[in-house]
Amino acid sequence: MCGRMALTLPPEAMAQMFEAAPANTLPEGPNYNICPTNDVVVVTGGPDQPRRMEAMRWGLIPHWYKKPNDGPLLINARAETVLDKPAFRSAVHARRVLVVANGFYEWTKDAEGGRDPWYITRRDGAPLAFAGLWQGWRNPASGEDLRTVAALTVAANTPMQAIHHRMPVIIEPADHALWLGEQGKGAAPLMRAAADDVLHWHRVDRAVNSNRASGPELIEPWDPIESD
């Protein structure tokens, strides 16, 4: 599962890291609490097109929806069933992207049922690139065109199971071109859990439980003494 993200890098740095031309509509950052329906930064590419970094709405809208809320909010897609689901099966063949983030949040519950947030990043400090699928959608009422995206998830690797039973599919830099379709077919084996030593996490303050919270303090390690 991936329900919140943080992105702190400036667009120019991200574009250089991913060798992609940045669109002038990228969301202003940093954003320490990216929520579903917010814009996220993605990298697109393909065999016949240059890489591009652009913004897409987080929450894929299938083409048959008449309104954005005509059905469930599809922020994630399960890799195990993505080829069978009408909302995703064409996108997994033709519209794959990398969703860029510095980290993401997951939650555990304490003995009283309270939700304790954890901030998860790459151990090597590099940005994360989640496997994503995008879908264009036109609002029948307004004629507005949207590009919308969902992140792929898989069963969690052994360390992550302590926090959540699912995790995003993380595409390693050496595999970016294959996932984007720049190196032909054969991307299906990339839809797997990250190696056990890729990720690191720490507890953060419960302030991030609110989707209105903002600021760099959201990703700082939680200090129970200060909280008291």
Mind listing the pLDDT tens digit for each residue in 39-80? 999 999 998 889 999 999 999 999 999 999 999 999 999 999
Is residue 208 predicted with pLDDT exceeding 90?
Answer: yes
Task: Tell me which residue range forms the domain holding 150.
Answer: 5-227
Q: Give me the chain's average pLDDT, please.
A: 94
CATH code for the domain in which residue 27 is found: 3.90.1680.10
Q: Are the C-beta atoms of 104 and 5 separated by less than 8 Å?
A: yes
Cβ neighbours, 10 Å, residue 126: 13
Contacts of residue 128, Cβ cutoff 8 Å, sequence gap at least 6: 100, 101, 102, 103, 104, 121, 122, 168, 170
Q: How high is the pLDDT of residue 174?
A: 96
- The overall pTM is greater than 0.85: yes
For β-strands 49-58 and 21-22, DSSP reports them as: parallel
Nearest-angstrom CA–CA distance, 131 and 178: 11
Tell me the average pLDDT across 27-32: 90
How many domains would you assign to the chain?
A: 1
pLDDT of residue 66: 93
**For residue 140, which phi and psi values (nearest 5 degrees)?**
-65, -30
Instruction: Judge whether residue 224 has pLDDT over 90.
Output: no
Q: What is the pLDDT of residue 29?
A: 81
